[in-house]
Amino acid sequence: MTGDEWHDSFTRILLEQGVDPHEAQRLSEDSRAEAIAARRHPAQLFGPAAAYAVAVARAARPAPLLAPLARAKGPVVLRLTNVTKRFRRREVLRGVDLTLHAGEVAAVTGANGAGKSTLLDICAGTLKATSGVVERAARIGYAPQQHGVAPYLTADEHFRLFGAVHRMGARKAVATGAHLAAGLGWRPRAGVVASQLSGGTQQKLNVVLGELSRPDLILLDEPYQGFDQDSYLDLWAQVYAWRDAGAGVLVVTHLLHDLDKVDHLLELQGAEDR
């Protein structure tokens, strides 16, 4: 690979990683000048173009705030009181209580089959609790675990469709979607339908659709399947960014990572046959 090829591939991957084109151009010129000054081949100085581009793209993201914002707890966006769910004789949820304010993150954990997705569906409103009281904010974002995207639509078409439901203009919806995608290290390409995206990227689309309308409450169901480690960290950074921006976030997870920072931890005990 010649130096020029290295720089071309570096620039291309920066763009794929969601770096703003002007910024990518600048970073590319910088690395070129840096290699010239060091009188070395860029691969020798920086390593493989792909790996370096990923590292630079991560570093170039808008800086997370060094000190967390002084968060004022907002109004209650989700309140579960003694929520129970039974499917025929099988009790999946028993006596679940939770009060989530705007500006807080709640993580729901538990083994497979412990009712995590059921709880999320009840919060979203696709399922009805057998007993107990559910109250939640009207404006929600919802990213289900599976089938959250349409295989035959491109990312921009998804943004326009969801934008229409949220009564946003088409242009604004696409711009917002692209901006949010960049935060997860992804730049949607025109003409590529969802079924052609990798599993991890489909999940990024799923998550972006969940937050497109800047909702008061965001419900996420294990959106990490197919995510690599970096995407996983980006997602959590995003979760805390939503929180700091004043949204309440409910995340279903089986990964016991990073849970020391969440405001509420709801551990579900699992199903019982009765």
Partner 1 sequence: MLLAIAGTSLRELTRRRSALLLVIALPLAFYAARSDEPGQAVRFLALGVGWAVATLALFSHVGSRHLDRRLAVVGASPTALLLGRQLALLGTGFTIAGAYLVLVAVAQDVERLWAVALLLGTTVLVAAPLGAVVSLALPRELEGALALLAVMATQMLADPEGTLAKVLPLWSTRELTTYAVDATSDEFLRRGLLHFAVAFALCACGAWAAAVVRLRPNTPPEPAPA
Partner 2 sequence: MLDATRQQWLHGFLDFCLLCLLGERRDYGLGLAQRLAESGFGEIPGGTLYPSLLRLEKQGLVQADWVSSTVGPRRKYYRLTAEGRAAAEERVAVWREFRQAMDRVADRADLAEVETA
Contact residues for partner 2, defined by CB under 8 A: 27, 30-31, 33-34, 36-39, 45-48, 51-52, 55-56, 58-63, 66
Q: Which residues contact 192 (CB under 8 A, 6 or more apart)?
A: 154, 155
Shortest Cβ 196–partner 1 spacing (Å): 11
Laid out side by side, the sheet with 105-109 consists of: 140-143, 217-221, 248-252, 105-109, 264-267
Shortest Cβ 257–partner 2 spacing (Å): 17
Amino acid at 81: T
Which residue has tokens 């639509």? 153
Which token pair is 147?
A: 């089938």
Q: Which residues contact 124 (CB under 8 A, 6 or more apart)?
A: 140, 142, 144, 219
120 exposed, middle or buried (CB, 10 Å; 0-12, 13-18, 19+)? Answer: buried
| Cβ-based nearer residue to partner 2, 15 or 137 | 15
Which bin fits 234, alpha (ψ -120 to 50), beta or left (φ > 0)?
Answer: alpha
| Residue from 38, 164, 237, 245 in contact with partner 1 (CB under 8 A) | 164
Shortest Cβ 115–partner 2 spacing (Å): 38
| Residue from 147, 191, 199, 260 in contact with partner 1 (CB under 8 A) | 147
- Which option in partner 2, partner 1, none does residue 58 bind, with CB closer than 5 to 8 A by kind? partner 2
72 binds partner 1 (CB under 8 A): no
213 binds partner 1 (CB under 8 A): yes
Residue from 78, 73, 113 nearest 93 by CA: 113
Shortest Cβ 27–partner 2 spacing (Å): 8
| Residue from 151, 189, 245, 269 in contact with partner 1 (CB under 8 A) | 151
| Cβ-based nearer residue to partner 2, 21 or 169 | 21
**CA distances to 68, 71, 91, 178, 240 from 244, in Å:** 8, 7, 36, 21, 6
208 binds partner 1 (CB under 8 A): no
Which bin fits 173, alpha (ψ -120 to 50), beta or left (φ > 0)?
Answer: alpha
The whole-angstrom separation of Cα 150 and Cα 188 is 15
From 1-9, 21-29, 33-41, 161-169, give the range in contact with partner 1 by CB under 8 A.
161-169
- Which option in partner 1, partner 2, none does residue 99 bind, with CB closer than 5 to 8 A by kind? partner 1
- Which option in partner 1, partner 2, none does residue 51 bind, with CB closer than 5 to 8 A by kind? partner 2
Residue 108 phi/psi, 5° resolution? -110, 120
| Cβ-based nearer residue to partner 1, 53 or 120 | 120
Shortest Cβ 170–partner 1 spacing (Å): 8
Supply angle C-alpha 268, 238, 218, rounded to 5: 50
118 binds partner 1 (CB under 8 A): no
175 binds partner 1 (CB under 8 A): no
The residues that touch partner 1, with contacts defined as CB under 8 A, are: 75-79, 99, 123-128, 134-138, 140-142, 144, 146-153, 157, 160-167, 170, 193, 209, 213, 215
